[in-house]
Chain A
Amino acid sequence: MYSGSFSGTNIPAANFSLTSASAATSTAGEAVDIVGGPKVPLTLIPPVALDTARKTLQAELTYGEGSYTQDLGVSLSIPAQSRVGTYTGTLTVTIAAGP
């Protein structure tokens, strides 16, 4: 979203994309398992637009009980002739447990 004094417009959410997702690194608790995870899903092949939810890490049943870090590369395409000002986006990160 744009805020400023030069009548700028919002940059579409589809311009914000995920460009890379590293393997998870354990910082506490259960170690990363090559089969059970946490691991990057095979279905995630960057770059992907982040105007919709994307899964970047998954763990099988009984795996992933710990703390982990993952580096995510992101990129923003700034349209030509964008106005001076502050552009603010909200990135929602969800840890989910479900079937």
Chain B
Amino acid sequence: MKPPNRLRAGAAALALATVWLAIAMPVAALDQAPKLGLTPVDHEGAFFELTLEPGETTRMRVEAANFGAEEVEARTYAADVYSIINGGFGADLYAEPASGTTLWLDYAAQVATLGPQDAIVIDFEVAVPEATPPGEYVAALVIENVEPFRGSGAVTVDQVNRSAIAVAIDVPGPRRPALQIGAVAHHAVGAESVVTFAIDNPGNVHLKPAGDFALFDAAGGELSAGPVTMDSVFAGTGTLLEAPLAELLPEGDYCAELRLVDAETGAADEIECTAFSVGPAASAAPDASTAASRPAPLSLPSTDVLRRAAPFIGIAFICLLLCALVLAVLARRRRRAAQKLDPVRGALRAEAAVSRAWIVRRGASAALAIEALPGTTTVEGSQIAFRLQKRLDELALERPLSILYLQGAEPVAQTTAGIAPFYVRSRPSGSLRQAGA
């Protein structure tokens, strides 16, 4: 359907042009931001993966390169690895004290001036201490621009661009996968509540846990529930799992449940109704003293920038008006398209086990991805998909939809990443048995 796509593309181009014109100077400079990278030499893969016995030493080589168009003073160093919030690879910043596996690397911090497309090769040693217990270990090599890339304006953000690669070391021997869920806490971010769980990996194997989370009020009523997925929680590290909620929790007492399992190793833990409280400060309505603390857009320009940008602001205003007109037309078309989906929503609501749905577009075709409540069996899911496909065929939609049945966090993530779902019910909650199916 070419006209709506052209309109959409036109609106996007106008919006981008408006943003560009309003902050022309800083945006143009971003093309000159440093682009540095580290690449293993004579070693397959994007990072180092080694198997070493206790007491063994090996020599490795890494290339430090400048992929940008400007000369850069680059710093490279070895750093501790930690598990970031919700799991994932994090490398300590420069000057953080090194410990553990990082001390096995004979990789001195150094500074080098690299011209455009220039590179140097650095030799280093990895020495595993005698009597190191078996398990999975990891450290990081990092390269970054020494001088921060300068922002401008009254509120300035300088930028440091880093590239980090892992030195992952496997010391052979028995594996002890272990997972522990710890304290539950709450904090507010803007107008939304976030429930956090402390997650520890005291074992000797890296984990990628996934599972389910549920939140209850003081009376035991379920407020929210759904699947959770974490990226890597490295052996010997701890981190937090964040479960964000759509709203700010009122002051009061709550409890949360969490069940996590690492599919590869079977390491698991769960907590039942662990209490936490939301205090009055997190739920207070905005008053005069807090009104000035509302979040402000970062890109507010200073007076000097405004004067220089004055010739562009008039053009930007005209672009904004045109944008508003195009977006109004698109919104009207979107409302009409949504009305056409009403029969689909009706069919979905007739299925008690369906909690969320997405329209997933793949080129010229489209699919309706559906997610079932926890506890739905594979057979029940297939039956749901069969009934819905039959119903969709009967509706004879202008753009036919095929059915993608999804269950579990991973298939949903893989198929619908970046696409917002619409909830068939207000929030997915309860199990299949609680839904009465």
Count A/B pairs, Cβ under 8 Å: 159
Partner pick for B140 among A39, A44, A98, CB 8 A cutoff: A98
A40 at the interface (CB under 8 A from B): yes
Partner pick for A97 among B165, B298, B414, B418, CB 8 A cutoff: B165
CA distance A33 to B85 in the complex (A): 25
**In chain A between 47 and 79, which residues have their CB closer than 8 angstroms to a CB of chain B?**
47-49, 52-55, 58, 74-79
Does the CB pair A88–B85 fall under 8 Å? Answer: no
Chain B residues positioned under 8 Å from A5 (CB to CB): none
Question: Binary interface profile of A, 2-44, with partner B (CB < 8 Å = 1, else 0)?
Answer: 0000000000000011010001000000000011010111111
Chain A residues positioned under 8 Å from B142 (CB to CB): 94
Chain B residues positioned under 8 Å from A54 (CB to CB): 84-85
Chain A residues positioned under 8 Å from B220 (CB to CB): none
Chain B residues positioned under 8 Å from A58 (CB to CB): 88, 231
How many B residues touch A, CB cutoff 8 Å?
Answer: 65
CA distance A95 to B37 in the complex (A): 9
Least CB distance, A31 to chain B, in whole angstroms = 12
Chain B residues positioned under 8 Å from A19 (CB to CB): 295
Does the CB pair B85–A91 fall under 8 Å? Answer: no
Does the CB pair A93–B159 fall under 8 Å? Answer: yes
**In chain B between 229 and 267, which residues have their CB closer than 8 angstroms to a CB of chain A?**
229-232, 234, 242, 244
Partner pick for A47 among B47, B151, B189, CB 8 A cutoff: B189
Partner pick for A96 among B164, B244, B412, B417, CB 8 A cutoff: B164
Chain B residues positioned under 8 Å from A81 (CB to CB): 292
Chain B residues positioned under 8 Å from A94 (CB to CB): 91, 142, 162-164
Given A52-B85, A80-B289, A97-B166, also A42-B417 (CB < 8 A): yes
B90 at the interface (CB under 8 A from A): yes
Does the CB pair B159–A91 fall under 8 Å? Answer: yes
Chain A residues positioned under 8 Å from B332 (CB to CB): none
Most buried by B among A40, A43, A81, A93: A43
Given A81-B292, A88-B158, also A42-B409 (CB < 8 A): yes
Does the CB pair B157–A91 fall under 8 Å? Answer: yes
Does the CB pair B158–A89 fall under 8 Å? Answer: yes
Chain B residues positioned under 8 Å from A45 (CB to CB): 244
Q: What residue in chain A is nearest B86 (Cβ atoms)?
A: A43
Does the CB pair A53–B90 fall under 8 Å? Answer: yes
Q: What residue in chain A is nearest B39 (Cβ atoms)?
A: A97
CA distance A35 to B158 in the complex (A): 33
Does the CB pair B192–A47 fall under 8 Å? Answer: yes
CA distance A50 to B254 in the complex (A): 26
Partner pick for A76 among B206, B295, B409, CB 8 A cutoff: B295
CA distance A9 to B143 in the complex (A): 31
B138 at the interface (CB under 8 A from A): yes
Chain A residues positioned under 8 Å from B293 (CB to CB): 77-80
Most buried by B among A35, A93, A99: A99
Q: Assuming A92-B144, A97-B165, A99-B136, what are 20 further A-B pairs, CB within 8 angstroms? A: A16-B298, A17-B190, A17-B295, A34-B414, A35-B417, A39-B418, A43-B86, A43-B87, A44-B86, A45-B244, A47-B192, A52-B84, A58-B88, A87-B155, A89-B155, A92-B160, A94-B164, A96-B90, A98-B166, A99-B49
| 21 A-B interface contacts by CB (under 8 A) | A17-B189, A34-B417, A35-B417, A43-B87, A53-B84, A74-B298, A77-B294, A78-B292, A80-B292, A93-B161, A94-B142, A94-B163, A96-B89, A96-B91, A96-B140, A97-B47, A97-B165, A98-B164, A98-B166, A98-B168, A99-B168
Q: Give chain B's interface residues, CB within 8 Å of chain A.
A: 37, 46-47, 49, 81, 84-91, 93, 136, 138, 140, 142, 144, 148, 151, 154-166, 168, 189-190, 192, 206, 228-232, 234, 242, 244, 289-298, 362, 409, 412-415, 417-418
> Closest 4 A-B residue pairs measured CB to CB?
A98-B166, A80-B292, A43-B86, A97-B46
